[in-house]
Amino acid sequence: MEENGIKPEELKLSDKLAVERTVLAADRTMLAGVRTSLSFIGFGFTIFNVLRYVLAHAPTKLLRPETPRNVGLFMLVAGTIPLFLMMIQYYRTLKRMGRKENVFKNPNFQMALIISLLGTILIVTLIADFIVL
């Protein structure tokens, strides 16, 4: 707001409420992104383990050996990368709305950061597991 020369204190009540609604919409969007990413990450990890179990215990080999890794890795990446992009968008939206507080103190951003770190750790673990084998 201040880049226009208008300070937040000078805004009318309706304008202040409009800014608050926009920030709350950004919060909802961030949480929807966290929910979707968590679903993709969880499903990717689960499908990796299920396919690996099927590959190990099936009497006939229905899958190629790299199929569990590829499917799981795709789902993990499909959940983690968009979440990083969502965090950048959220940060920019708060900054554009003139929010002065540190984004890292925001619980929505903290949850997104934790989920994105979880996804990154699972991706690295999945890749490292197959490099060692």
Check residue 8 and give its pLDDT: 59
Count of CB atoms situated within 10 Å of the CB of 81: 16
State what percent of residues in the chain have pLDDT above 70.
91
Token representation of residue 83: 């979440």
Element (H or E) spanning 68, and its range?
helix 67-96
Higher local confidence (pLDDT), 97 or 133 = 97
Check residue 132 and give its pLDDT: 66
Rounded average pLDDT over 95-119: 88
Residues 44-80: tens digit of each pLDDT? 889 988 988 988 888 888 788 888 888 989 999 999 9
Q: What's the farthest any 2 CA atoms get from each other in the chain? A: 74
Check residue 133 and give its pLDDT: 57
Check residue 124 and give its pLDDT: 92
Q: Say if residue 30's pLDDT is above 70.
A: yes
Domain count, the chain: 1
Whether the CA torsion 41, 44, 50, 53 is positive or negative: it is: negative
Tell me which residue range forms the domain holding 81: 2-132
pLDDT band of residue 5 (cuts 50, 70, 90) is very low
Check residue 15 and give its pLDDT: 86
Residue pair 1/11 in contact by the 8 Å Cβ criterion: yes
Judge residue 97's burial from the number of C-beta atoms within 10 Å of its C-beta, 0-12 exposed, 13-18 middle, 19 or more buried. middle
